[in-house]
């Protein structure tokens, strides 16, 4: 594999972490060795987006880059990023400083669009190949924000409920169960398409978000 332009990768860390990110930048598994055979291959060149850090206390575990992030090479450069920063109570300068936040989606590359124009799920090759090694390289992380069902499935395991709503509604119990190590807080995706979900679940804004802002403020 030949490393590509690493503009899509940012890091605050030592040589080991930089070497790992260099490997990720050269990864072509989803295009050249896709799970499910050649017909399931990524329909475009891989362009991984990942912000890893050996100092950031907060890890944002999202889903996968969308079309705008695929073009910009910077995570959450879209309206969902604006909403996420509102949820966190931080500005862009704080958000994009890898000393503060690591941003490691479940799939590093834009997976493409489905027949209805929505984003496909994260590529299945990505997390098994890279996630354990990346997590092991960031032992300083104290809070993981598990955004969406794919991140919650990976980071919560048996603590994840049948639906995203049930999982997020159980945030207090999840925090209590993970406090002794790295706390995990489940969140819905900040896409504006989820505005209806937020209206139907007012406890998210009145109860969960104040706790999220408090923890972020304390850790930063």
Q: Give me the CATH topology for the region 6-219.
A: Uracil-DNA Glycosylase, subunit E (3.40.470)
Separation CA 66–CA 64 (nearest Å): 6
pLDDT at 10: 64
Q: Supply the pTM of this predicted model.
A: 0.92
CB 66 within 8 A of CB 72: no
pLDDT at 115: 84
The DSSP bridge partners found for residue 183 are 143
**Complete DSSP assignment for 87-148:** HHT--HHHHT-TTTEEE--SSSS---B-TTSPBPPPPTTHHHHHHHHHHHT-TT--EEEEEH
The DSSP bridge partners found for residue 58 are 101, 143
Query: Which of these, 126, 204, 111, lies nearest to 165 by C-alpha position?
Result: 204
Ordered by start, the domain boundaries in the chain are: 6-219
Mean pLDDT by 10 residues, the chain (220 residues): 45 80 92 91 91 94 89 88 97 95 94 85 94 94 97 96 97 92 95 94 98 97
């Amino acid at each position: 594999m030949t490393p590509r332009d690493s503009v899509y990768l940012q890091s605050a860390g030592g040589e080991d972490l930089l070497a790992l990110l260099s490997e990720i930048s050269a990864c072509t598994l989803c295009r050249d060795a896709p799970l499910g055979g050649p017909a399931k291959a990524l329909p475009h060149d891989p362009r991984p987006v990942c912000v890893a850090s050996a100092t950031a206390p907060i890890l944002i575990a999202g889903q996968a880059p969308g079309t705008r992030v695929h073009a910009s090479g910077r995570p959450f450069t879209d309206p969902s990023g604006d909403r996420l920063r509102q949820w966190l109570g931080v500005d862009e300068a704080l958000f994009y400083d890898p000393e503060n936040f690591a941003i490691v989606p479940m799939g590093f590359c834009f997976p493409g669009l489905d027949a209805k124009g929505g984003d496909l799920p994260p590529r299945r090759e990505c997390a098994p190949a890279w996630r354990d090694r990346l997590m092991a390289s960031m032992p300083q992380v104290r809070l993981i924000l598990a955004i969406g069902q794919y991140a919650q499935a990976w980071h919560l395991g048996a603590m994840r409920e049948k639906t995203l709503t049930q999982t997020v509604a159980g945030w207090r119990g999840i925090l209590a169960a993970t406090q002794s190590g790295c706390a995990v807080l489940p969140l819905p995706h900040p896409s504006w398409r989820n505005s209806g979900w937020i209206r139907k679940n007012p406890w998210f804004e009145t109860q969960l978000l104040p706790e999220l802002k408090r923890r972020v403020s304390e850790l930063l």
